[in-house]
Amino acid sequence: MLQGILNFVISTIYQNIFLGIFLGVLIETIFPPIPSEIILPLSGYLLSFYSFGFYGLASGIIIATFGATLGSLVYYYIALKLGRKFVEKYGKYFLIDRKKLRAAENWFKKYGKKAVFFGRMLPGIRELISLPAGFSKMNLKDYLLFTFLGSLIWNSFLISLGYFFGENWKNLQLDKFSNIIFTTILLTILTYFIFKKLVKKLQKV
């Protein structure tokens, strides 16, 4: 089943790249085992191969981010409207791993709203962070904002890898190094904010 879904997504990306990106990320958000580490770099590579240029790259990233945000609403509303018992009983049909769900819940309890932002970039939690957000009745506007921004960073990173590495993206084995990818993104974000604070302090001197 999963291989069939993945083949459908890849086929769609080759036939209509922007539609394929949107559907691929949408489906990947609903069915966690579908790997964005394959879908997004492939999309980036094809954007480069067909010479879409910067605007094509930016469009692909934005489309992927809207797809991820829309797809994440499925779990958010299931958790919000139907509750934990429904998810525990029927989650297996959506291929939800209970251990990963508990990890996502612990992450959310510890970091609150910020967990949605960072969780969208964290392997094993990325696809399931919407559930604890729904369970806790997180404000929809806040949820959409943090989901969009977190997805934007993750999608930008993976699509850009495929775009700039070209055919070599296949050799990166991104599925095995997701934690390293997350750490790299996190350090980049922290460096940016630290640098921003330092600049403000220097301007006051």
The predicted model scores a pTM of: 0.82
Q: What is the dihedral of CA 200, 181, 57, 8, to 10 degrees?
A: -150
**Mean predicted lDDT score pLDDT of the chain:** 85
The number of folded domains in the chain is: 1
Q: Within 10 A of 177 (CB to CB), how many other CB atoms are there?
A: 14
Give dist(CA 125, CA 120) in Å, integer: 7
Note down the domain range covering 159: 2-204
13-17, 122-126, 147-151, 152-156: segment of lowest average pLDDT: 122-126
Percent of the chain with pLDDT over 70: 81
- Tokens encoding 43: 């999309």
Task: Determine the pLDDT at residue 146.
Answer: 93
